[in-house]
Amino acid sequence: MQPRRQQHWCLGAMNAAFIARMEDVLAVYARPADPRFPVVCFDERPCVLHGQPTEPLPLVPAQSARGKQPAKAWRPRRASSTYVRQGTACLLAAFEPGTGQRLVEVSARRTGADYCRFLQAPAAHYPQAEKIVLVQDNLNTHTDAVFYQHLPAAAARALAARFEVHYTPKNASWLNMVELELSAIARQCLHQRIPTLKQLTTHVAACVAERNAARAAVKWQFTLEKPASNSTAPRA
């Protein structure tokens, strides 16, 4: 039996509009790979910049056994739980599940201007694509109207024409594969205290380069034939 609250959420969320958009996104994921129509998932992730007011204690190296004294394992650096909040930042990410490649930008904000600027990167990255099949959520800045607010009309029209947009259902951004990619980057890179936008950019760039080289992909298991309610959660 599902808990009562979870049952209530499912009944409320799984309406016709939800199912229509869910099946649309799942149908996109089921398309055969085609370089003319690359499937790219876009999303944003806020980050908090944390300063370290006191230097961490140095790590204690391992010690080999001496006489009757057993060997001692190394001890990692220890840091104070005190930190200084130094503002926020945002990761803008475009992830192509079919090739395991991603474009990630560290931005100070996530406004419509940032969305417009960032989407010019995948538009340039796929020059041979007839259409970039873009999966994204319903944030109010995620529309082609934003292009017209920040670009000349001809440039905005040309940028909008590069994309075939598919929206996830409301309250279901987990259907966007880039959520898993952003979670993986957070686990590998954002677990430490990073105080400045510049340092965050350096750390994220190194992480993204490593994941691109490894072609790290997603084992997606939700399909039209096998809906999410009967599937194992996908993993990055």
Task: Please report how the helices 197-214 and 178-189 are oriented relative to each other, as an axis angle in degrees rounded to 10.
Answer: 120
Q: Give yes or no for residue 225 having a pLDDT over 90.
A: no
Q: What is the pLDDT of residues 115-148, one digit of tens each?
A: 999 999 999 999 999 999 999 999 999 999 999 9
Among the residues of the chain, which ranges form H helices? 4-13, 16-29, 112-125, 145-150, 153-160, 178-189, 197-214
Residue 21 region by backbone torsions, left for phi larger than 0, else alpha for psi between -120 and 50, else beta:
alpha
φ/ψ of 124, rounded to 5, equals -80, -25
pLDDT tens-digit profile of 159-216?
Answer: 999 999 999 998 888 999 999 999 999 999 888 888 899 999 999 999 999 999 999 9
What distances in angstroms separate CA 223 from CA 21, 52, 58, 104, 168, one per listed residue? 13, 45, 49, 27, 14
- Separation CA 217–CA 235 (nearest Å): 9
Percentage of the chain beyond pLDDT 90 is 61
Q: Whole-model pTM?
A: 0.78
- At 165, the amino acid letter reads V
pLDDT of residue 83: 63
| More confidently predicted of 14 and 200 | 200
Compare 134 and 6 and report the one with higher pLDDT.
Answer: 134
Average pLDDT over residues 87-108: 95
